[in-house]
Amino acid sequence: MAKLMLRGVRKRFEEQERDAVCEMDLEVVDGELLVLVGPSGCGKTTTLRIIAGLEDVTEGEVWIGGRMVNGVAPKDRDVAVVFQNYALYPHMKVFDNMAFGLRMRGAPRDEVRRRVEAAARLLGIAELLGRRPAQLSGGQRQRVAMGRAIVRQPQLFLFDEPLSNLDAKLRTQMRTEIKRLHHNLGATTVYVTHDQVEAMTLASRIVVMNAGRIEQIGAPVELYSHPATRFVAGFIGSPAMNLVPCLLRTNGAGLAVEIEGGALLPVPSSLELAYRPHAGRRLIFGLRPEHLAEQPPGLKADAALSIEVEVLEPQGIETMAIGRVGGTELCARLPGTSSARRGARLSLSADMMHMHLIDPETDLVIHSARSGP
């Protein structure tokens, strides 16, 4: 396996007015599974194609295993790519699809068979080696595509949204398979997806991209608990963090967040030192849905607000209740046994120890309240 480094990598296509990738500096350590995540058009697939050698850089350097590979052909970079559409040869049997790259490199016949059969056993497709792609399910085809990459024993594995063509249940199963495969092989891997749940599930570290730039890099729990920007706060997490316009004001001797609709939410005393310099400013108040709890009748919470429930999304163990605070949509993650009803008022208590405040002028998070999830 190998270390990957991008140094000042920039890519602009002739027909575009802005860079597809903007001066990216990135290091992927040996054996890491790094996930590039972001919305469509953010530059993540272009970055992957640059690493693979399928796109030339406009500026910057790409290093794989201590070797600068600018100008090196894809076949000579010692990387293996698993594509979204599987890219299997329909006229070849599974064995031949997996063996094709080795045969093109002149590997001995016995070694080809040994590697293909070992990869097939690892992926649980040994009984499929005599079939053709048309006889396989989507999940089986994706396993074959992964097997074709594994047999090459490359320095670097690249995955380009490999699960996006699968149904929801199969995506979940294949996420488990990919994570197990990474643990077994210890392979340096860069994985591209637009699905932040997929990113959170798989990654050692996540790179969140937006408009060609890196917004934040970190472990999944770090990005979830300590987003650095408004974009990351709203992108990471499902459902997304609630982001509500507010006024940070003095409230007696302390501070309080006044949100649209008039609710006044006291800031915990342990957080006042960090927030006091911003008193009197209009900011963005952030709180995740799980930090809003249904308030029992007759009990008054220190930090309380209410919504009229517009949508209920029962999901078995939990229910999402969606309403509005002022003109902003707000989501609360409630127990599946919640008595909330559509069209009724719902009183909620806010766990302010998990609050975030965002500067609307810079879109930077001012302070992340706690280190835990």
Query: Between 181 and 370, whose confidence is greater?
Result: 181
What per-residue confidence (pLDDT) applies to 1? 65
Local confidence band at 370 (pLDDT 50, 70, 90 cut-offs): very low
Is 60 exceeded by the pLDDT of residue 371? no
Task: Quote the DSSP letter at residue 230.
Answer: H
The boundaries of the domain holding residue 267 are 235-368
**Are 281 and 301 found together in one domain?**
yes
Average pLDDT, the chain: 91
Predicted TM-score (pTM) above 0.85 = yes
**Are 209 and 253 found together in one domain?**
no
Last residue of a domain, one of 208, 228, 248: 228
In a domain, 206, yes or no: yes
**Are 153 and 285 found together in one domain?**
no
Name which of 236, 235, 234, 240 is nearest 219 in CA terms.
Answer: 236
**Are 174 and 313 found together in one domain?**
no
Q: How many domains does the chain have?
A: 2
Residue 127, classed as helix, strand or coil, is helix
* 337-341 average pLDDT score: 89
CA distance 294 to 305: 10
Last residue of a domain, one of 199, 228, 257: 228
What per-residue confidence (pLDDT) applies to 160? 93
Query: Between 171 and 371, whose confidence is greater?
Result: 171
In a domain, 100, yes or no: yes
Is 90 exceeded by the pLDDT of residue 99? yes
**Are 185 and 324 found together in one domain?**
no
Is 80 exceeded by the pLDDT of residue 372? no
In a domain, 282, yes or no: yes
Where residue 189 sits, what CATH number does that domain have? 3.40.50.300
What per-residue confidence (pLDDT) applies to 128? 94
* 76-94 average pLDDT score: 90
Is 70 exceeded by the pLDDT of residue 369? no
Q: How many residues are listed for the chain in this entry?
A: 373
* 70-91 average pLDDT score: 90
**Are 212 and 136 found together in one domain?**
yes
Is 70 exceeded by the pLDDT of residue 58? yes
In a domain, 326, yes or no: yes
What per-residue confidence (pLDDT) applies to 260? 80
Dihedral sign (CA 9, 13, 16, 17): positive
In a domain, 28, yes or no: yes
In a domain, 373, yes or no: no
In a domain, 279, yes or no: yes
**Are 114 and 239 found together in one domain?**
no
Local confidence band at 14 (pLDDT 50, 70, 90 cut-offs): confident
Where residue 303 sits, what CATH number does that domain have? 2.40.50.140
pLDDT in tens, 118-147: 999 988 899 999 999 999 988 899 889 999
**Are 178 and 259 found together in one domain?**
no
CA distance 48 to 44: 6
Last residue of a domain, one of 210, 228, 246: 228
**Are 180 and 327 found together in one domain?**
no
Local confidence band at 248 (pLDDT 50, 70, 90 cut-offs): very high
In a domain, 201, yes or no: yes
Percent of the chain having pLDDT more than 90?
A: 71
What per-residue confidence (pLDDT) applies to 110? 94
Local confidence band at 298 (pLDDT 50, 70, 90 cut-offs): low
**Are 269 and 173 found together in one domain?**
no
CA distance 304 to 292: 9
**Are 273 and 221 found together in one domain?**
no
* 182-202 average pLDDT score: 91
**Are 71 and 44 found together in one domain?**
yes
Contacts 24+ apart (CB under 8 A), 341-346: 341/309, 341/312, 342/309, 342/310, 342/311, 342/312, 343/308, 343/309, 344/308, 344/309, 345/306, 345/307, 345/308, 345/309, 346/294, 346/306, 346/307, 346/308, 346/309, 346/321
What per-residue confidence (pLDDT) applies to 283? 96
Local confidence band at 10 (pLDDT 50, 70, 90 cut-offs): very high
